[in-house]
Structure formats: structure tokens, C-alpha cells
A and B are shown apart, each in its own frame.
Chain A
Amino acid sequence: MARSTVTVISSMFLVGLLLGPLFSLINFSGLSLSLSISDIAAIKFTFVQAAYSATLSTVLAIPVAKALLRQKFWGKSFVVLILGAPFILPVIVAVLGLILVFGNNGIVNNFLNLIGLGSIKIYGFWGVILAHVFFNLPLAIRILLQAFNDMPGEQYRLVSSLKLSSAQKFLVLEWPVLKKVCPGVWAVIFAICLSSFAVALTLGGGPKATTVELAIYQAFFYDLDFSKAAQLALIQIVLVFSVVFASQFIAKPKTVFGLDIKISNQNPSNFQKIMDTLVIIVTLLFIFIPILVIFFYGFANVFFLPSSVFKAASLSIQIAILSSFVSVFLGLCLTTNMGEMFGSLGIAISPIVMGAGTFLMLKNFGNPYLLAVPVTAIVNALVSLPFVIRILKPSAVEIRTEFENLSRSIGLTGIFWVWWVYLRRLKRQIGFSLGVASALSMGDLGVIVLFGSGEIATLPLKIYQLMGSYRIDEALASALLLSLLAFGSFAFFDKLGRIL
């Protein structure tokens, strides 16, 4: 089968998966729009928190990226590598970690109380922003660092030979890069935060800190107002599509998966060295203390967890395996420009919206709760699909370019080409994609909250339930287990791709 045919069939399958829920949302919304004051507040909050999160993440990333660029130190590559960790860290784990550090009885507030300063509040607007900065600051740092790193070393040499002032150096060297990259970074983070659900669910809520996604969940779960949920879901789709459409006019930053750190020719002053060291240390503490405290507090109870937690963990593993294989299979079929466009629909239509639409669609045919596992796996697969395509596509295109003539000349096509060339040449990227997709699915707290129940719960949902019933010790130990599963599945598949 020709490559284009495979892409068209896969794209149609994907569109079918998305259109079914969309039509059922339109049907349930009754094609009417009656927004209450709280709905309008949710829309406003969604935009405001996304704008704050994107702006803070982008602005804070600039000094960190510059510090990492300027300073040479042992383990620098490792530091940049582990800045990718929050990407696959389950949201619920990060939230628990942030509560332990910044919560009412957290490390920071205890210290502030000790020195007689007032305490900070993690719940509400600033808590949501804090969590979003925690997740997106490392992403912004890596993209900016890559952009600075792509500048030719000759430019640094030229500027240093001209004996320019700091301000002139900034204008000549850094400003053109920042001007080019920052709008794209901001837009990516804004789009991510626009669909924030798990953070808003755990740290937000109430009339002042509810996102549209959270409002959909509340209409669905608490009010059982499916019409309202459908209307809000359609609004969310329009919001995200508008932002994605608008962001097409902004230069897209490079997605950073690999690391190719060049050392630039810079000679920082002693003051600059001290400041850079401080910036790097504070950033690393901000990112890694919440993760480390989970390990510290969770370890004591991890061997005494109730069987229901292990049952939830087992379900999470099953869903993660199924979802990652579906995602990578679709990704392998969609490594063309058209395929990438269709595959990216998963970003525009969030898990909660997809889940709500699927729930309403399945409600017409029977009990939707019975299909919780396959629906969660498929929705998770679609959510990770854009990342999977971004990992696979560059190498897939390279393989086709390099070996097309040879393959055609010996008549190596179809399934034989896939078996001997495509899969074998892509095995590292396939392993890495499976790792990313399984880790993302393992930590997902999205569609399962609509379909889950006391009987059917994934590990993130179980942790949320434990937090809700104030069983914090068990929640922490479960969070440790979840982190180990997420990082473990990533490491397992990534390694598999390297050794096979």
C-alpha cells in the first residue's frame, strides 16, 4: 500500500474518532448557548491563568537559559537532560510535591513563619500559576537554550573583539534570538495551559479559579447537566482552535528532544558567574525539591499500601501499554505533513472534551462506564500522538529520502519495506516514543475522572481520591509508586529501542 494511502486511511480513522464525540457534543448542546456568570468567569480565568503562566514561564526561562549557556560545569548535559523530567512527571505527583513545599504546612511556609513573614497560599489562582510554571519553565528553558546554542560561535567572537557594552551585546546577540523564539514559546505554553484540567482540579476550583475544562467536569459529574457540559466543551474547542490558528502566524520554536549542547565562546565576569550559579541552583531547587520530597515522604509507606492502590496501578499499566502502542502505530502511519496536521488535532481537542463527547455518544448505546478502559487508552493515545509524530517524523522523512531510490530499484515496497527498513531504522525513535506515550498515559488524570468510578480507577485517580479523603500518607506513597511507574516505563521502552 502506498505511503499516501496509509496516511489518508489513518487520518480518516483519526478524524472519525474525533468527529463522533464532536457530533454528540453538538447534539447534546441543543445548538444553543446560554452562559451563566460562572461560565463567563471560567472562560476569563482560563485565559488569564494561561497568559500569566505563559508570560512567567517565558520571562523566567531567559536568565536560566543564558546562565546555562554561559557556564561550563561538570554534569551540565545531565542538568539539561533532566530538565525534561517534568514533561513526563504525572501532574498529580507534581501537585502533591508542590503542596508539600508551598502548602500551608509546607517547607516554604514553615520557613516564612519561622522568620515572622506571612504565609503564601497554594490553592486558587497563584497555586494554578505556580504549578503551570513548574511544568512549563523547563520546556521554555530547553527551547531557549537550544536557540541560543544554535547561534554561530563566530558571532560571540566577533562581538567580544568589538569591545561592546553589555547593553550593546544584548541588542546585537540576544535580542534577535529572543524576538524570534519567545513569541513561539509563549504561544506553546499558552495553548498547553488553556487546556489545563488536572492542575485546576487539584489546586483551583471555586468561583475564582475554575477553568473551562474544570467547569465541564463539574457540569458533568456534580450537576449531571450534560447539555451545559456539551456547550462548555464546544466553547473549549473554539478557544483552543482560535489560539492554535492564531499561533500559526507566530514562528514555531523547535521541539527539543535531543541535546546537542555546544560550548559558546564566552568569558563571564566573576559577578556574572555568581549570579548564574545562583539562578541555576534556585531553578533546580524549584523543579526538583517537589519531586524529591515525594520520594522522601512516600518511601516510608510504599510497602504498606492497600491492595486497591496496586489494583489501580495494574490498570494504569494496562492502559499505558495499550495507549502507547496505539499511539505509536498511528504515529508510524502519520509521518507526513498531512499526517502531522491530523495527528495534532489531539492537542486542540483536549482529553476532557474528547471524554465528554465519547461519554455522551456511548450513552446512546449502553452503559459508558463499561468502556472506561478502552476509551481512556484511546483518548490517551490521541493526546500523546502529536508528540509521537514529532519524534518519529524527522527520522522517517530522512529514511524515505535516503533509501527511496535503492528501495524502488530492488522493488522493496509495502510490508517488506516496513519490516526491513522502516521499523528497523526507526527502532530507537519507536522506543523513545513508546516511552513518552506510556509515561504520559500512566500519569494522565483526564478522561478517567469522567469514566472512572470506585471500581475502575487508575493510579492518578486513586491518588486524587486518597487526597480527597485526607489519607495523605497513602497518597504520597502512591505518588511515589506512580512516579516510579511513569519514569520506569519511559526508561524501559527507551532502553528497549536502543538494544533491540
Chain B
Amino acid sequence: MIRFEDAIIKIGDFQLAVNTTVPKGFTSVIGQSGAGKSTLLSSLSGHRALTSGKIFVDETRIDLLPSNKRPCSIIFQEFNLFPHLSIVQNLNLVCGNRFFVSESSREKIKKVLEKVGIVELIDRLPSEMSGGQQSRAALARVLLQRNPILLLDEPFSALGPNQKSELIDLVDSLSKEKDISVLLITHDPKDVRQIAGHCIVVKDQTVLGPFETSEALDEDGPLKGYL
């Protein structure tokens, strides 16, 4: 459970006020471009500091921790893999020995790549893979990080509808299997429909919700005018 307590994030003239509790499971974050969805996730991942307020994960305060000490993994819109490193080298960066890929690390990496369905691409460079395969590799790294929260900042927005849908399903099943809470940013209501979880809405510089997905998508729900 993630709890924002009187959190304010200011960037120039823009201000986002957050006072909400995100339940465990899959939660989509929806709102128009520029509403502050990425800002919300950045504050949670530690890439942007709160101006005031607190963030708790379960009962532990995390907003004062540096980003790499927070219990969150994040996949961005772009630059999720280092293009000059092979997939095994990219994934090894979150394993124990960081100067070279040991045999045990390689085995560990193989296992997670099997889970995301790209084990045969272990020695490829990202440039030798499709966008969907790159997203799967980034997901594999998340599994290695073993953090209880996964933040997805529109990582599949450049993919075609089928690939995107497959990947959302994959994230959903992996998160259930590994007991990972997921926050997925999207501005596409179809993505929200695909997930039977919760939904929070970023609108008018505030964060509304969480709502049951069906409630949010209701004609008179908080997404009225957006759908």
C-alpha cells in the first residue's frame, strides 16, 4: 500500500497536490498530457523531490530515501536499456557482481528472460531487437530487482495495439505471480479497461481516487469528458 500524505510537488508555476492511498495490485494512472502523471511517478521513484508532505510504503516513510534505496522499479517511455550493452550485460547491472557477468548471474538472468519469453536474445544488443522485445528485457530486469512496486511510465506507448495489449497482460500475470504492485501511466482508456484493478485520475492539478476501474469508466465517473 502506497500512501501520499499532503504531498505537494511544485515545478515552476505547476503544482500537483496528492493526498491518496494506492492499494496493492494493479493501478492505472490516467489523465491528459501535462496533467502531472509522470511527475506523480517521479516523486514516488525518487527522481523528483516533494516540495512538502510525505510518502509511505506500508508504514515505512520513503520520500527521504535516494531513488536507488526506494522499493520501486521503474520503466520509462524511453532509454530503458543501455544501447551499447548486450541484454545480459544490461541485466547484470542489478545483479551482485557489477564488473563482469559471472556464470551464476548469467543463469539467473536466463531464468527471468525465459519468464518474459526472450531467452534466445540474451546476447543481443538492444538495437538488434524490436521495441516489444526491448520492453520485455526491461521487465526482466524489474524481476531481478525484486522490488515490491513497479512503476510504468507509458513504456508501451510506441508499440502497436496488439503488442501493447500482450505486454500489459504479461505485466499483469507477472505482478500477480511475484506479488508486485503496479502503477501504469496511460492516457488510453482501453488500457484501463484491460486491467481489472484500480484507477487513479490526475486532473486539475490534483490526484483523484483510487476508484474501482469499472467505477472510473462509468459514464458519470471521474473520467467523464475524457472518455
Contact = CB atoms under 8 A, between A and B. Distances in A.
Nearest to B85: A420
A3 to B, nearest CB: 15
7 tightest A-B CB contacts, nearest first: A411-B68, A416-B98, A408-B67, A409-B74, A424-B84, A410-B94, A406-B79
A4 to B, nearest CB: 15
9 contacts: A403-B82, A405-B79, A406-B76, A408-B67, A409-B47, A409-B73, A416-B99, A420-B82, A420-B98
B145 A410 contact: yes
Contacts of A420: 82, 85, 89, 93, 98
B213 interface: no
A410 B68 CA distance: 6
A8 to B, nearest CB: 20
Interface centre among A403, A411, A412, A421 (most CB of B within 10 A): A411
Contacts of B141: 410
Contacts of A495: none
A413 interface: yes
Contacts of B186: none
Contact of A408 (B46, B84, B89, B94): B46
A245 interface: no
Interface residues of A, number: 16
B195 to A, nearest CB: 23
A425 interface: yes
A416 B93 contact: yes
Contacts of A419: 99
A257 B72 CA distance: 42
B79 A403 contact: yes
Nearest to B72: A409
Contacts of B94: 410-411
A413 B94 CA distance: 12
Contact of B80 (A406, A408, A411, A416): A406
Interface of B: 45-47, 66-69, 72-74, 76, 79-82, 84-85, 89, 93-94, 98-99, 141, 145
A403 B74 CA distance: 13
Interface centre among A412, A416, A419, A420 (most CB of B within 10 A): A420
Interface in A85-100: none
A402 B77 CA distance: 12
Contacts of A408: 46-47, 66-68
Interface centre among B68, B69, B73 (most CB of A within 10 A): B68
A405 B93 CA distance: 14
Interface string A408-436: 11111100100111001100000000000
Contacts of B84: 424-425
Given A413-B68, A416-B93, A420-B82, 10 more contacts: A406-B81, A408-B68, A409-B45, A409-B47, A409-B72, A410-B68, A410-B93, A411-B69, A411-B94, A412-B93
Interface centre among B69, B81, B93, B145 (most CB of A within 10 A): B93
A408 B79 CA distance: 12
A406 B94 CA distance: 12
Interface string A150-179: 000000000000000000000000000000
A405 B76 contact: yes
Nearest to B92: A420
B184 to A, nearest CB: 16
B136 to A, nearest CB: 16
A408 B46 CA distance: 9
Contacts of B74: 405, 409
B44 to A, nearest CB: 11
Interface in A378-414: 402-403, 405-406, 408-413
Interface centre among B67, B82, B94 (most CB of A within 10 A): B82
A126 to B, nearest CB: 52
A240 to B, nearest CB: 40
A403 B84 CA distance: 12
A403 B145 CA distance: 18
A100 B73 CA distance: 68
A412 B67 CA distance: 11
